[in-house]
Amino acid sequence: MSLTGDALEAAVRRLLREFGNQLDREVLESVLEICGGDVDQTVAFLRVQNDTDYVDPGPQQKESIPKDYMDKPPGYAAPKAGEGDTSSAALRLKKVLLSGEAGFEDHLTAVDKVFPEYTAVLLMLLHKNVELSTVTKSRVLAACWQLRKHELADHLVSLENHFNIPEVLKALKILDGPRRLRALEKKIARLEKQATAKPKTLGLLRAKINDLKKDVPGVETQLTSVSGALAKRVKKWTLSLSKENLDFYALQLPKEPWQELADLVHLHPSDFQLPWFLSFVFGHPAPEDSLVVQAQKLTPENAEELVTQYKFPYSFLRKNLPDMSLKVKAQVALYEKLDTLVWYYEELSSNEVDAIIAQRIDAGEEPNFSYGKLMERLLYFKMNGIAFYHKLVPVAQKRLKDIFLPLEPPVVVMGDASYSMDIAIRTATIIGSLLAALTKADLLFFNVKSFTPKTMPRTIEDVLECATSTPADGLTAPACALWDYYQKKTVVKFFIAVTDEIENEKSKGEYFAQLFYKYYTEVYPAKIVFVSFLENPGEKGRMVKSLENLGIVPLQFRLDSHRPDLTKVDTLLGLLASECSFFPVQVDAVAQALRRSECRLAAALEQMKDLPFPDQPLGKQGGEDEEEEGKGKQKAKAHDDNEPPEEFLCPITQELMKDPVVASDGHTYEKLAIEEWIQKKAVSPMTNGALEGKLYPNFSLKSRIAEWKQTHNAE
């Protein structure tokens, strides 16, 4: 059966993703027709006929990798570390917290040996909304509990969005590992001595030991336990859980984790704000008037009455009341959070719900979920002509201005617009456009050639327009986006590649890694960041592997190419912010506050409110409202127009800075002046505290000074 229309287009796209670097579209369509429109049969036929110049690609197995893809360029020598490579404590500890390879012992050592620095990096990452894995968070918590860093541990478990039952339970299991191991080994020894145990029983027990060793590496030598004092602290945490949260847990979450927690720390009904909660998780019925019992009575016939009275969470209703009436949807729209209504709009939409959402936005309510999710929702509303779309644009624009991402300029964002990105193209374009707007970067898209968007995105409307107007077309030759920068020897500090990494074409005879190696060694040792859309996000893509093969290690942020998730954009922004040159300065400031206060957490949290280079909003950009612009003008008139702002002057010389740098006290000075000061004195000219010798370039201030000098014709 021949395919036509959308079905034909979908089939050809799949074939192009796999064979497009060897066969053109017409050939693929012809073979597809010969195979009667059967895509799988076409793929099988082409694989048999395919010549053997291509090797097994590994993780991205649906795409062929050329044999010369991993070749090193002629005259290759391992590149020297660039200015972005540093062995500072901040970056080493960041790797411990972000790398899944760091085990419990690594965290234990860090908490024991460099607690101020470790705490500072941890707090900074959480402050920047960087998402740490559950495994990492549980190891952090376990290390704090083991070494009695209770103030930090108590603070962490108070952060509901980061630490909850999965992290708490897993941390306790880490500490309880040695006891569990001893118990299993004793049981096996006893059964073997009795000589009556079945081999299957012994095999199951040994499998449990293997699972435990895998779950808690190094458990055999670990000296940890769950003490009575720790159990009391966990009980204090369970007692802090609100009744609303416990209702939610009882209604929707599995009971087993709570059963395990109760066994580990010997919980009592009085350790919860709902005394019936503990017995409920062990199988006893909840009280008649509880939300759980009333939810069990829910039917389509009584839904309107019960929903009005008990206000069940929509996350429960959507699973247990699939055929929801328009009246029930409208009732939900009256009490549920605006976040929920916007998030699940496709399921709840109706004329009445639309009107309620619009009224709530007009009344000043705003969605509070991640910025990335807000952008995904805006794209959907724009493409589907939803009436209240324009009411949310100012909300997103305001939040865009509140994001501070001062990557050292110049920055270049390269977005993949090839065939293989057809599923993720809009998500990728939004990410690329957002990063360009936040950093005022150059934005390029590429397939077999590079091109710029019609409008360089600077506002939310620009970003969404770019996302809806950029097609996925052609093969993938990312080197074409880099070529001009290499040929013209243009210095770029940050390259950000948003791509699925399915590179299958050279540009000017070079693959991306080989050309980037030349740029890195001949022009400038730039940092490179990959936002990668991968079939298996647990594996590295081919472009990252090829760069690592040449001694260049990119920062990588991975997304699922089949389910691109914009909710992770906030974590991406946090990771990028931690790559800025002043991140170690901020970490040092927090660590020093801890040292000065004998590691009192309150001092660190107070210092977080007054960081060097605070997370301030971007300067004026397109779309900024007149009121803010007016404030800026009034502020500018506060001093003589011909006099530079005070922040542009070196505190030591009181002269306009030419090469501003940040010292370890968090203040900015003229480089030569502070270097001479440090040679003579060991204390800060501003704080009188100890001053270390390391200095960090203040690129953003240098850029602003240059703009001011150009505007005022100043030397």
pLDDT tens digits, residue range 58-91?
Answer: 344 445 677 888 888 888 888 865 444 434 678 7
Closest CA to 64 of 563, 420, 536: 420
Please give the C-alpha separations between residue 105 and each of 178, 265, 591, in angstroms, as whole numbers. Answer: 14, 23, 22
What DSSP character marks residue 252?
H
Partnered with residue 496 across adjacent β-strands are 413, 529
- Residue-level pLDDT at 646: 82
> Could you tell me where the DSSP H helices lie in 363-424?
371-383, 389-401
CA distance 569 to 346: 22
Per-residue pLDDT tens digits for 441-480:
889 999 999 999 888 888 899 888 888 888 888 888 999 9
CA distance 154 to 405: 30
Per-residue pLDDT tens digits for 258-289:
999 999 999 999 999 999 999 999 999 999 98
- Residue-level pLDDT at 58: 39
- Residue-level pLDDT at 81: 54
- Residue-level pLDDT at 578: 85
Please give the C-alpha separations between residue 96 and each of 99, 101, 576, in angstroms, as whole numbers. Answer: 5, 8, 17
C-alpha atoms less than 13 angstroms from C-alpha of 373 in its C-beta half-sphere: 14
CA distance 571 to 373: 12
Do 630 and 680 form a contact (C-beta atoms < 8 A)? no
The residue type of 235 is: K
- Are β-strands 494-499 and 411-416 bridged in parallel, bridged antiparallel, or unpaired? parallel
Residues 6+ apart with CB under 8 A from 643: none
- Secondary element (H or E) of residue 366: none
C-alpha atoms less than 13 angstroms from C-alpha of 116 in its C-beta half-sphere: 18
The two most distant CA atoms of the chain are separated, in Å, by 95
DSSP-based three-state secondary structure for 569: helix
Q: What is the C-alpha end-to-end distance of the chain, expressed in Å?
A: 75
The residue type of 272 is: F
The residue type of 560 is: D
The region, left, alpha or beta by phi > 0 then psi within -120 to 50, assigned to residue 328 is alpha
Residue 625 has phi, psi (to 5 degrees) of -75, 160
DSSP-based three-state secondary structure for 513: helix
pLDDT less than 50: residues of the chain: 51-62, 82-87, 616-639
Neighbours of 473 (CB within 10 A): 14
DSSP-based three-state secondary structure for 19: helix
- Residue-level pLDDT at 631: 43
- Residue-level pLDDT at 118: 96
Closest CA to 266 of 159, 342, 176, 350: 176
CA distance 277 to 248: 11
Dihedral of alpha carbons 205, 209, 212, 214, sign: negative
Closest CA to 435 of 378, 367, 494, 476: 494
CA distance 189 to 622: 73
- Residue-level pLDDT at 614: 53
Q: What are the structure tokens assigned to 120, written together?
A: 């500072």
Closest CA to 403 of 557, 582, 614, 615: 615
What DSSP character marks residue 55?
E
- Residue-level pLDDT at 214: 83
Q: What are the structure tokens assigned to 592, written together?
A: 């020093």
CA distance 316 to 201: 40
Q: What are the structure tokens assigned to 220, written together?
A: 């055999």
- Residue-level pLDDT at 2: 63
Closest CA to 475 of 82, 31, 63: 63
Residue 301 has phi, psi (to 5 degrees) of -75, -40
Q: What are the structure tokens assigned to 55, written together?
A: 């090797």
Burial string for 581-605 (b: 16+ CB within 10 Å, else e) reads bbbbbbbbbbbbbbeeeebebebbe
CA distance 331 to 312: 11
